[in-house]
Structure 1
Amino acid sequence: MPSAPPTVRVVTDSTACLPAAPRDASSPVVVPLRVVSGDSAWLEGVDITPEEVAERIRAGERLSTSQPPAQDFSAAYRDLAAAGARAVVAVHLSGMLSGTVDAAAAAGQRAMLPVRAVDSGTVAMALGFAAQEAARCAADGQDAAHVAKRARQVAASSQTYFLVDSLEHLRRGGRLSGPAAALGTALGVRPILTVRDGAIELAQRVRTRRAATDRLVELTVARAQTCARPAVAVHHLGVPERAEELGRVLADRTGVTPVVTPVSAVLGAHAGPGALAVVVAELGGHVHEDPW
């Protein structure tokens, strides 16, 4: 007989870029953000794909994004309570980049069960690894405080680096300051960006895309070598061949098979076509006491 769902459930959002895979009653529940164009809005992962976002941007369409309304979280919490959950840990993208975690917390104040909202301070599979590990703790019978602590631990351990073909999308969307965008594109260099303290910052400048990609490998390998059990992810928008190649190189250099997925449609709207990213997180050193 299948085991009962855990009494603590994890909710995250679609910017976690979780890979498409069968999910069960212990998997994180994903609440989608929206891609917006004029009067139209689409739920990412439901109504629009990253590939469609790339096509629209290449065609000259200007896209924006919006966080889920609090009622979307309320509906998710209500469904989980009806399924037997007794508490929820809501793990979301950086509050510096979106109001999603605030909407999750606001909905939690009116929910039928206690909700702990966690600002991961990051995004993409840095958020995804945190949500997955939190869900594993919940499935192992840990309480909500432990599950939330584990999400914060994995998120804090993560490093994210990415390249974009143009910083204009990030600047226009307010995710990168004008001066930083100007500095990143000065002298024809290729900027390497990172997420630090919840915000997107310029990490390094490299002359060519090839050199920048090589630098992504160096940064990833260096971080993975410091981890007891590293997890690695590669993301892209509209350049699957580059992502697969990067994944093969990282697998060879780190001994870890990376998760390779497109960035979410919402992240793609800000990063633009050609984006390439790597994430490394530490999953080791975590054990659960035998309750018996």
Structure 2
Amino acid sequence: MAVKILTDSTSYLSEEICRELDIKKISLSVSWNDMSVKEVDINNEDFYRMMEEKGIPKSSQPSIGEMLEEMKRVVANGDSLVCIFLSSEMSGTYSSALMVKDMVLEEYKDAQIEIIDSRSNCMQLGFAAIVGARAAKEGKTLNEVVELVKQNLRRSRFLFIPDNLEYLKKGGRIGGAKALIGNLLKIIPILTVEDGKTAILTKVRTKKNAVSAMIDKLVKDSSIYGLKEIVVHHINCYSEALDLSKLIEEKLGVKADIVDIGPVIGLHVGPGAIGFVYYTEKDMR
């Protein structure tokens, strides 16, 4: 019996990594009044163009049918399954997965399925899936894979900064007055994910200073906990992401791959957002 890994599209894992590690993804969607599209089926440039034309869309979780089909496919083959999904504070995907698990167990009573709430998204979720998949390929048991995934989530951090506060305002994350004042004063919040929700780590003046503050936090965590892997995230600002990746390599001597953030998460922050996700050798929480 093998252990298989299922995650969702907000992990933003590349198709290459998913093939290499045998990770399956189910997609969340974005929808306007007149159309709905899976985020894996639309690129960022088209999405933000459509958002300018149609307004901010709503995001929705994967369909119950798709989730049920994927879980059944695994257990029908005699394998066990570890599902790792974005934060239950951000989406109903996790709670739906618990319901689908019960549906599967009605038909496959001996099925072994574990559902994990990552309490995050993007490559903080993605790294958890990667670590789980690597462990599964090494022949680890279901319980061992689950523990390594949970351990990784205790050891990872996501830091990012918006280009401006307009999308946070539009998405209801901050009030209009705060957004106006913040933009006028060029105040940039450094955002993170804590206890499943987007939180403000600190605020600084200008995006350049925000990048420096993020790097300082990364260097400090690396010196205390030991850095394992890191990726740079961006939304439609690849050249800035490349500069940030080079800066990380200069500071720490490690390679940071660049990973786009897609529509479901990106609609809350907007184009020009940049940051990184990393995990360490020791627990940070």
TM over 0.5, shorter chain: yes
Superimposed CA distance per residue, residues 134-180 of structure 1 (whole angstroms, 9 cap, x where no aligned partner): 11111112222221111111112111111112334345445x35499
Measured at CA, do residues 242 and 20 of structure 1 come closer, stay the same or move farther in structure 2, by a change above 3 Å? farther
CA distance in 2, matches of 1:33, 1:242: 27
Are the equivalent residues in 2 in contact too, given 1:53–1:268 (CA < 8 A)? no
1:211 matched to 2:209:
yes
Are the equivalent residues in 2 in contact too, given 1:57–1:273 (CA < 8 A)? no
CA distance in 1, matches of 2:177, 2:12: 26
How big is the alpha-carbon RMSD for the aligned residues of Structure 1 and Structure 2? 2.4
Match of 2:242, SS? helix
**What is the Cα deviation at residue 225 of structure 1?**
2.6
CA distance in 2, matches of 1:126, 1:19: 14
1:106 aligned residue: 99
Residue pairs, 1:202-241, within 5 angstroms: 202-241=200-239
2:14 aligned residue: 19
Return the match for 2:196 from 195, 198, 214.
198
Higher helix share: 2
Partner amino acid for 1:93?
L
1:288 aligned residue: none
1:155 aligned residue: 153
Match of 2:229, SS? strand
Any stretches of 5+ residues in structure 1 without a counterpart?
A: 1-5, 286-292
Superimposed CA distance per residue, residues 102-126 of structure 1 (whole angstroms, 9 cap, x where no aligned partner): 1122111112332211011111111
Return the match for 2:42 from 48, 51, 61.
48
1:31 aligned residue: 26
Are the equivalent residues in 1 in contact too, given 2:75–2:112 (CA < 8 A)? no
2:139 aligned residue: 141
Partner amino acid for 1:250?
I
CA distance in 2, matches of 1:200, 1:183: 20
Measured at CA, do residues 140 and 119 of structure 1 come closer, stay the same or move farther in structure 2, by a change above 3 Å? same
CA distance in 2, matches of 1:26, 1:243: 25
Match of 1:226, SS? helix
TM-score (norm 1): 0.86
Are the equivalent residues in 1 in contact too, given 2:160–2:192 (CA < 8 A)? yes
CA distance in 2, matches of 1:63, 1:127: 23
Match of 2:13, SS? coil
Are the equivalent residues in 1 in contact too, given 2:165–2:182 (CA < 8 A)? yes
Number of residue pairs matched?
A: 277
The farther-off stretch of 178-187 and 148-157 is: 178-187
1:185 matched to 2:212:
no
**What is the Cα deviation at residue 195 of structure 1?**
0.6
1:274 aligned residue: 272
The farther-off stretch of 57-66 and 27-36 is: 57-66
Any stretches of 5+ residues in structure 2 without a counterpart?
A: none
Return the match for 2:65 from 71, 75, 79.
71
The farther-off stretch of 241-250 and 22-31 is: 22-31
2:90 aligned residue: 97
Match of 2:267, SS? helix
TM-score (norm 2): 0.88
Are the equivalent residues in 1 in contact too, given 2:18–2:24 (CA < 8 A)? no
Measured at CA, do residues 253 and 96 of structure 1 come closer, stay the same or move farther in structure 2, by a change above 3 Å? same
Partner amino acid for 1:139?
K
Match of 2:224, SS? coil
Are the equivalent residues in 2 in contact too, given 1:184–1:205 (CA < 8 A)? no
Superimposed CA distance per residue, residues 210-260 of structure 1 (whole angstroms, 9 cap, x where no aligned partner): 111222222222222333342111111110000011011112212221121
**What is the Cα deviation at residue 20 of structure 1?**
4.2
Are the equivalent residues in 1 in contact too, given 2:169–2:179 (CA < 8 A)? no
